[in-house]
Chains A and B, each alone.
Chain A
Amino acid sequence: DADVTQTPRNRITKTGKRIMLECSQTKGHDRMYWYRQDPGLGLRLIYYSFDVKDINKGEISDGYSVSRQAQAKFSLSLESAIPNQTALYFCATSEGSGTSGRFVSETQYFGPGTRLLVL
């Protein structure tokens, strides 16, 4: 079974609609992330969460919101979708620094991605 799952895998929606993308993980990691991938631009961070009560904006958070329902679940919402939000969306997880102090010693593991098309 996959450690990081995303639903749906593909979605077509219309401008102005609200849409939610969901991410679940069985890795037991504390930290979760949402990235967006556009052709020719690589991946860019939308939001990240260190635990259920700690959510932070990333590089491109405008037009998005998130919810950390549990340690294992992190959802991304587009309140009113627009065509330039058409992209591939990835969820990622990482273990966290634990007792590493100020150093962050982790690797991010990605889900399979959700392809979103906004018409």
Chain B
Amino acid sequence: AQTVTQSQPEMSVQEAETVTLSCTYDTSESDYYLFWYKQPPSRQMILVIRQEAYKQQNATENRFSVNFQKAAKSFSLKISDSQLGDAAMYFCAYRSRYSGAGSYQLTFGKGTKLSVIP
């Protein structure tokens, strides 16, 4: 079974600064997807960024980028030029790319609460 670990329960960043959220995972599979979801106080789960394990290039979405280290099973999220609206819980999630029983399940970490200081 896959596991996802987020070792930082809480983090804070000054507005306009850069912050990196950590995520590690454990799997025996070679092909999979990794995601970062954002959950603001509104409770909505919002997809931030997605990475396919077979792609060596790190995914980027505007101010959000990842550092994907497949051998180390590490998937960190970097937020540049932090804004007040970035304050939220951030969840790292894993999903197998192969079809089969259980493969459709997203396995989530426990989340990191990010505060943005004005």
Chain A residues packing against B (C-beta within 8 Å): 31, 33, 35, 40-45, 48, 58-59, 88, 90, 92, 94, 97, 101-105, 107-110, 112-113, 115
Contact = CB atoms under 8 A, between A and B. Distances in A.
Interface in B10-46: 31, 33, 35, 37, 42-46
A112 B98 contact: no
Nearest to B101: A56
A5 B111 CA distance: 24
Given A97-B99, A105-B97, A110 B44 contact: yes
Given A42-B111, A103-B98, A107-B50, A58 B105 contact: yes
A-side binding surface: helix, strand, loop or mixed? strand
B103 A104 contact: yes
Contacts of B96: 104
Given A102-B98, A110-B45, A113-B43, A48 B91 contact: no
A42 B108 contact: yes
Interface of B: 4, 31, 33, 35, 37, 42-47, 50, 91, 93, 95-100, 103-106, 108-111
Contact of A108 (B43, B98, B99, B106): B106
Contact of B97 (A33, A35, A104): A104
